[in-house]
Structure 1
């Protein structure tokens, strides 16, 4: 079962997920919301659309823009709507 961990905390765990371009996307119901704080950062993918980011905060430490999601993905990426993916030192285990 995939999980995402950082700084000693389990950020997300699920048995239902999507994999896109090698990244595991966790459904919104699988994340522990206490660790996620909205970020102003955004990015754009030509086929997925515009991504929004979260700062991940655990034990007072901040992983700036450590998680992202697509609130309104293009049709080709509709399966990852609102699903959360991780990077920047956050460990994702399958």
Structure 2
């Protein structure tokens, strides 16, 4: 699967390596091209997944605020609920299209 912004592939991995959580595909950290992400200061804590790290996505000279996120240290209850440790896996939103 691929996470694509325009014609730029930001992440790519076999579907079996991704984790689906609440309708979002989470890419393994090693599959994400970190040069397209910039850490965001936006705070959020999910009641069952834990503290979220948002990222803004670089689109040329434009920075798309909070279009990606991950959970660096998910709660154990969240890992149990998902069935796999999803620490640092990255999901995308809006302009970043996830396709097979």
- TM-score (ref. length: structure 1): 0.91
User: Offset at 1:87?
Assistant: 0.5
How many equivalent pairs are there?
93
SS state at 2:40 partner: strand
Residue number in structure 2 paired with 1:51: 52
Residue number in structure 2 paired with 1:36: 37
Residue number in structure 1 paired with 2:22: 21
User: Offset at 1:8?
Assistant: 2.1
Match of 1:82 among 80, 88, 93: 88
Q: Say if 1:63 and 1:88, in contact at 8 Å, map to a contact too.
A: no
Q: What stretches of structure 1 of length at least 5 have no aligned partner?
A: none
Deviations for 1:10-33, whole angstroms, at most 9, x for unmatched residues? Answer: 000001111111110001100011
What is the RMSD computed on CA atoms of the aligned residues? 1.1
Q: Once superposed, which parts of structure 1, at least 4 consecutive aligned residues long, lie more than 2 Å away?
A: none
Deviations for 1:13-72, whole angstroms, at most 9, x for unmatched residues? Answer: 001111111110001100011101111012121110111111100211211111000011
Structure whose residues are more often strand by fraction: 1
The 2-side partners of 1:45 and 1:13 are apart by 26
SS state at 2:64 partner: strand
SS state at 1:76 partner: helix
